[in-house]
Structure 1
Amino acid sequence: MAFILCAVCILAASLHDCEGDLRFASYYGDHMVLQKSPESAVLWGYGPEGTQVTITLSGPSKQKTSPVTVTKGIWRVTLDPVEAGGPYNVTAANQSSTATLTDVLFGDIWLCGGQSNMWLQMYKIFNASQELYLAGKYPYVRTFMASLQQSEIEQTDLIQVELPWSVPPTNTIEFSAVCWLFGRYLYDTLQYPIGLVESCWGGTPIEVWSSPKALQQCGLQQTNSGPKEYSVLWNAMIHPLLNMTIKGAIWYQGEANTDYNQEKYSCSFPAMIDDWRMAFHQGSGGQTALDFPFGFVQLSTDEKGSQTDAFPNIRWHQTADIGYVPNLRMQRTFMAVALDLPDETSPYGTIHPRDKQDVAYRLSLGARAVAYNDNEVSFQGPFPEEIHLFPMSLNITYDQGVSVTPSKDIFEICCTEIQTPCGPESPWVPAPIVHWGPTTVQLSTILCPPTEKVAALRYAWRDWPCGFKACAIYSTSGVLPAHPFIANCPPAQGYQQL
């Protein structure tokens, strides 16, 4: 950590001690995207103490701000709202110098965070050559990547930039595949500029991305050494971005918490979302929405044949133990179910499936519905509304039409002699699919011993529950897989409403 703090000191010296130097903060640059109307973009940077700085915007529309005074080496300006489009030149000027950003567009900014499945670069995915070729056809989807840095204290600015704002295909090969494809799919629908900001680090638990305030809400006050030290990436890779006005965020993380504070994830993940929302809202002076849309990928797969409940548990905890989003605890969120996208031959390890196109597309459907209020978009897979238990069978009524492929073991029931809560060590047995209708599935409970009763039901409750796009239940279109779930069962001839 001494090296990191030293690097911070060097950066601070270069930014604040250059006499007469006027500049923008680290994540502003040529080719960037600023948040469009109805929100207002925030610009800030560094300059000589006490001087007056004016921002001029020239392009399809023109704007000149009132002068602001540099205080403690920093100036900050909030533009009037600007409609989507461009290009613009943005100039900061004081009495003796200017700094100019060229080829600036206005559109929607999405922050992309998480661990290695968000980090996985474009050149590593299926059909990489074709995808990289297509990237050149999307000059209005721009990318930026923060460098991997840690800090023991909250940083005002990024310690280092990994990839500056770029026009594709420049730097796209090294950029997050999920982030890029998500932005590309959104552009196909929206037809205006999209800015993508990548800030992620492989192998990291949620605790390093969370502020001390968020961690305290879940009773997480202890720390680890090294890269798992609490809040070090919040300090270095998220906190510096808070002044930026953003449209929303997407997130792919949780693998590192399958064996670290797993039982806390149903608290720590929603708490981080809430905290980021408040922090970005305050940091942008109220321009970023207090409830900005937050999308995430429900964990895919890791080890075929694994008997542990680690991955199923985290998938469940990612929804605050409700099974779907948005819900009352996680409002204005959306989720891409990915457990049906395993990659047994991935050269990067089975924990890193190469099909990021389906992941990003499912995320983009959620964004269109939740962030852009498109009521015509289906973005959620089937989820049970009611469970009816009969002496030899169990009926599930889903919240939408279903496409069913018979399976003998993807559904499981817990059988007990007395009505007690079922857990990982309980006797779970398969419940084969025997009949189905437009919105219903009937399961056989014959494998439950005659002296025992069905106490609980679960679906796809395994690390690797099915083959590629071959789970048992999908939406009628076949595009969206059913969500995994676990539920207690009512007495026979009763029902449970989830």
Structure 2
Amino acid sequence: MVLQRNIKIPVWGNASPGRQVKIDFDGKTYKTITDKPGKWKIYIDEHNLPCPYQMKVYSDSNSVTFNDILIGEVWICGGQSNMEWAVLQSNNSQQEISNAKYSNIRLCKIDRLISEKPVNDIKTEWKECSPETVEQFSAVGYFFGRDLYNDINVPIGLIESVWGGTPIEAWTSREVLEKMQEFSGTMKKNKASARKYYSDMAEYEQLYQQWQTQGAKELPPKTIKDPRHRWPSVLFNGMIYPIIPYAFRGVIWYQGEGNAGRACQYKKLFPALIKDWRTRWGIDDFPFLFVQLASFRNPSPVPVENEWAELREAQIDTLSLPNTGMALAIDIGEANSIHPKNKQDVGKRLCLIALEKVYGKKVISNGLMYNNMQVNDNKVILSFDHIYDGLKFKDDRLLGFSIAGVDKKFKWAQAEIKDNKIVVWSDEIKNPVAVRYSWESNPNGNLYNSADLPACPFRTDNFKLSTFSKQ
């Protein structure tokens, strides 16, 4: 186990009402009385020395002792399948696994649990990072934690709470979702999905009972797909709520594929999740770092509206919340796989953000971000933030830009670097009004800053998006 350093550490549980509970930790005894429902919580004083501790929690009828506790930095690793993607499935997996001998990195996996109501208790355990324990752990989480440990040299605790194929609303509390007008249509669809699922299951159970009583040779095929992990709030209830108020430093998050068809709605859902988690933990503006969707699918031959590009924009917009950071993965995806195997660079880029924003290290963590545009005759001049020592591109020419006139029809554009700005034009567009960059599922954009971090996809226009009204 790893407990968060430099913060009062909450320890909580259940016992009989009115019973005294005590904790012995680092030579000091803490005590409290359980409330009427039998709940109790004790805060242990702040600690910052990593050396192993023992914690004894006891009452007059029960006692539990935890050994080999470290004090360090704790991060929650959340999201869907790209956060769930294991070290075993990643690039260079066998060497990564054999090298994963870090006694001061501890791993904790939250078991999958669907619940329509908040759950108080779950069973889990902490394990020392080793070749045996790391192979099925989140690759992004591990590579992030490993790089962080190698830099700051304090114990690292990683809590993995993930489920592939899940939308963000599954990880968001019902109280928040029910207040969102933008989500009302989705709530209705999910209620209809629930009715159908339970009706189909009841019908199947009836067939199953008939099969049992009639002695038929073949069991009726079960063709019902279980959609419950995608329902609103069920994973928040079963896999996030039970670990509140465990103290931690921040969250790393990789999710969004499950919401791409409702990208404009995600502009509301994603910030709502972050705000809600911060409120429930009572840790003001804890760091929330996330990964922008990687490139995926075959490139489009012509500029088109694109749901994945719109979802990436929703992720960019979420950076308006304080203490957030976004790792770019636009250049490390795979056309034929929604699960790119290069999780090392994803973890590295998340770690760079944490080092700069959270731990005050002098590192470069940001890719290029669009700032503003100017029109000069038939050309558009683009300015960027996070240039550092200059702009550059890979291959023999700049790619990934499209340009449009007042008709809003985008054409592929030519581009060049001039005075650390990008000049964009097309002979087909005489009076340009808008430029887009890497605006598709799998763009070929190749613009970078001097730190070899890619330019973030962007658009200069505010044209109505294809997912505007989708719920």
TM-score where L is the length of structure 2: 0.84
Cα pair distance change 1:435/1:369, threshold 3 Å: closer
Instruction: Give unpaired runs (5+ residues) of structure 2.
Output: 195-227, 463-471
Larger % of helix: which? 2
Question: Which one of 82, 102, 120 corresponds to residue 117 of structure 1?
Answer: 82
Cα pair distance change 1:435/1:98, threshold 3 Å: closer
Look up the equivalent residue of 2:325 and give its one-letter code: F
Q: CA deviation at 1:81?
A: 0.7
Look up the equivalent residue of 1:257 and give its one-letter code: N
Equivalent residue, structure 2, for 1:473? 447
Equivalent residue, structure 2, for 1:263? 264
Q: Kindly, what percent of the aligned residue pairs are identical?
A: 32
Q: CA deviation at 1:462?
A: 1.1
Q: CA deviation at 1:149?
A: 0.8
Distance 1:301 1:408 in 2: 18
Aligned positions of 1:18-417 closer than 5 A: 32-37=1-6, 39-58=7-26, 62-69=27-34, 71-136=36-101, 138-158=102-122, 160-161=123-124, 164-169=125-130, 170-219=132-181, 220-221=183-184, 222-223=187-188, 224=190, 225=194, 226-259=228-261, 261-281=262-282, 289-306=283-300, 309-320=306-317, 325=319, 327=320, 330-344=321-335, 350-374=337-361, 376-399=362-385, 400=387, 401-405=390-394, 407=397, 409-416=399-406
Look up the equivalent residue of 1:166 and give its one-letter code: K
Deviations 1:39-96 (A, max 9, x none): 11111223333321110114xxx32213434652333211011114021110012224
Cα pair distance change 1:291/1:75, threshold 3 Å: same
Are 2:25 and 2:55, in contact at CA under 8 Å, matched by a contact in 1? yes
1:464 partnered with 2:442: yes
Distance 1:277 1:201 in 2: 21
Are 2:20 and 2:31, in contact at CA under 8 Å, matched by a contact in 1? no
Q: CA deviation at 1:477?
A: 2.2
Equivalent residue, structure 2, for 1:27? none
Look up the equivalent residue of 2:33 and give its one-letter code: V
Distance 1:385 1:227 in 2: 39
Equivalent residue, structure 2, for 1:23? none
Distance 1:435 1:358 in 2: 26
Deviations 1:254-304 (A, max 9, x none): 001112x322001110111111111111xxxxxxx2110000000002211
Q: Which has the higher contact order (CA 8 A, sep 6+)?
A: 2
Distance 1:73 1:184 in 2: 39
Q: CA deviation at 1:385?
A: 2.8
RMSD, aligned α-carbons: 1.9
Distance 1:218 1:67 in 2: 39
Q: What's the secondary structure of 2:129's corresponding residue?
A: coil
Equivalent residue, structure 2, for 1:443? 424
- Between 104-113 and 90-99, the greater mean CA deviation after superposition: 90-99
Equivalent residue, structure 1, for 2:466? none
Deviations 1:447-489 (A, max 9, x none): 31x4xx21211111111112xxxx42111122x1111110139
Are 1:52 and 1:70, in contact at CA under 8 Å, matched by a contact in 2? no
Instruction: Give unpaired runs (5+ residues) of structure 1.
Output: 1-31, 282-288, 418-425, 490-498
Q: CA deviation at 1:435?
A: 4.1
Distance 2:436 2:409 in 1: 12
Q: What's the secondary structure of 2:8's corresponding residue?
A: coil
Distance 1:135 1:183 in 2: 11
Q: CA deviation at 1:416?
A: 2.5
Q: CA deviation at 1:195?
A: 0.7
Deviations 1:332-362 (A, max 9, x none): 0001010110224xxxx61000000101111
Q: CA deviation at 1:116?
A: 0.2
Q: CA deviation at 1:391?
A: 1.6
Look up the equivalent residue of 2:364 and give its one-letter code: S
Are 1:217 and 1:271, in contact at CA under 8 Å, matched by a contact in 2? no
Cα pair distance change 1:97/1:127, threshold 3 Å: same
Q: CA deviation at 1:377?
A: 1.9
Distance 1:210 1:96 in 2: 37
Distance 1:192 1:409 in 2: 42
Q: CA deviation at 1:430?
A: 1.3
Cα pair distance change 1:70/1:91, threshold 3 Å: farther
Distance 1:462 1:100 in 2: 54
- Between 250-259 and 90-99, the greater mean CA deviation after superposition: 90-99
- Between 404-413 and 101-110, the greater mean CA deviation after superposition: 404-413
Distance 2:148 2:78 in 1: 17
Q: CA deviation at 1:409?
A: 4.4
